Amino acid sequence: MSYIRHFKPDSVFLVTGGAGFIGSNIVEKLLENDFTVRVVDNFSTGKRSNIEPFLSNSSFTLIEGDIRDEKTCMESCEGVDYILHQGALGSVPRSIEDPLTSHNVNSTGTLNMLWAAHKKNVRKFVYASSSSVYGDNPDLPKVEEKTGMLLSPYAATKMTNEHYASLFHQLYGLETVGLRYFNVFGKHQDPHSVYAAVIPIFLKKLLNGESPVIHGNGEQSRDFTYIENVIEANLKSALSPSNVSGMAFNISLGDRITLNKLYQVLTESLGVTIKATYGPPRPGDIMHSQADISKARKYLQYDPQYSFSKGIELTIDWYRENLRGK
């Protein structure tokens, strides 16, 4: 992580959604490197336990607030150099059940943050987009320029954000970088929510001796990426040159495995012989997903250091410690 030395030591970072899975991991890395970090989070899906260890650190400030509130956004951006905007309501099914709330948090919240970043002269606005913007385009691997018909309100919010971020660059000169995360995994990812992601759900069930449900036939595939690679992408985006502004990049490993294979890896790593239960496919889910990460390699010098198997090993260690019996 030698690139981290390119930040000025007195840099101030704002991490929205900093109590969530990805946000709290980014905050931890920034604090380990002695930067000043502010978090804005309303704890709708984030956990206090994720940021508990930081509360006693004098370089850390928590603003408990909502990015739907313009005033909160303005106050959060005061004196900030870099924004790493992770705050959002994730999950395709959640957005199908309640598109208004997903829109208000994800799109209006992002617009509020962009406006505040512009007004407060923030140097760089890095934000979480999503592979969901590829919609029904079946091409593999996914290249940034070829998106398809969107399949969910969640995808529409993320695509809207990319348009706004690009507009803010064009109209106001705000330096924005969008990161289309694929399937991220690692410590702090919530296994308990009804909208939880597949790896924490599988691990929670398997560690408790239960059979997880695989939706569909399990031959659908995903490009799973360990959290450390996503932290790298955020920090390198913050350091990226001005000519990168307004663009969005695929952030993943550039590989894919099926859910059946994932299940096999997890059961073998845990040393259990529980069989999965197969259920109906979920609406809005795509069959395959795999990123072409050459654009991020070229423009951001993104160079993911953690393989899938290394990431799974570290993730299992953390869930073993933190999840059994919960």
Ligand X SMILES: NC(=O)c1ccc[n+]([C@@H]2O[C@H](COP(=O)([O-])OP(=O)(O)OC[C@H]3O[C@@H](n4cnc5c(N)ncnc54)[C@H](O)[C@@H]3O)[C@@H](O)[C@H]2O)c1
Residues annotated as catalytic (active site), given as ranges = 154
CB of 56 to ligand X, least distance (A): 20
- Region of 26-34, 35-43, 203-211, 261-269 interacting with ligand X (CB under 6 A): 35-43
Nearer to ligand X, 22 or 231 (CB): 22
Nearer to ligand X, 96 or 274 (CB): 96
- Region of 21-29, 144-152, 304-312, 318-326 interacting with ligand X (CB under 6 A): 21-29
Residue with tokens 């597949």: 198
What value does the CA radius of gyration of the chain take, rounded to a whole number of Å?
A: 19
CB of 5 to ligand X, least distance (A): 26
Residue numbers 78-117 binding ligand X by CB under 6 A: 86-90, 105, 109
Which residue in the set 3, 43, 172, 278 belongs to the binding site for ligand X (CB under 6 A)? Answer: 43
Distance CA 46, CA 18 (A): 8
Which residue in the set 14, 20, 205, 223 belongs to the binding site for ligand X (CB under 6 A)? Answer: 20
CB of 107 to ligand X, least distance (A): 11
Window 263-292: contact mask with ligand X (x via CB under 6 A) = ------------------------------
> Site for ligand X (CB under 6 A): how many residues?
30
The count of residues in the chain is 326
Nearer to ligand X, 44 or 274 (CB): 44
Nearer to ligand X, 89 or 312 (CB): 89
Check residue 67 for interaction with ligand X (CB under 6 A): yes
CB of 297 to ligand X, least distance (A): 19
Q: In the Cβ-directed half-sphere of 141, how many Cα atoms lie within 13 Å? A: 19
Q: Are 180 and 244 in contact (CB under 8 A)?
A: no
Nearer to ligand X, 125 or 181 (CB): 181
CB of 91 to ligand X, least distance (A): 8
Distance CA 65, CA 141 (A): 38
CB of 17 to ligand X, least distance (A): 3
Distance CA 222, CA 243 (A): 31
SS (H, E, C) the chain: CHHHHHCCCCCEEEEECCCCHHHHHHHHHHHHCCCEEEEEECCCCCCHHHHHHHCCCCCEEEEECCCCCHHHHHHHHCCCCEEEECCCCCCHHHHHHCHHHHHHHHHHHHHHHHHHHHHCCCCEEEEEEEHHHHCCCCCCCECCCCCCCCCCHHHHHHHHHHHHHHHHHHHHCCCEEEEEECEEECCCCCCCCCCCCHHHHHHHHHHCCCCCEEECCCCCEECEEEHHHHHHHHHHHHCCCHHHCCEEEEECCCCCEEHHHHHHHHHHHHCCCCCCEEECCCCCCCCECCECCHHHHHHHCCCCCCCHHHHHHHHHHHHHHHHCCC
- Region of 15-23, 260-268, 298-306, 312-320 interacting with ligand X (CB under 6 A): 15-23
- Region of 41-49, 209-217, 238-246, 283-291 interacting with ligand X (CB under 6 A): 41-49
Nearer to ligand X, 19 or 235 (CB): 19
Residue numbers 170-229 binding ligand X by CB under 6 A: 181, 183-184, 190, 197
Nearer to ligand X, 242 or 307 (CB): 307
Structure tokens at 170: 């064009």
CB of 325 to ligand X, least distance (A): 22
Binding residues for ligand X (CB under 6 A): 17, 19-23, 40-46, 66-68, 86-90, 105, 109, 128, 130, 181, 183-184, 190, 197
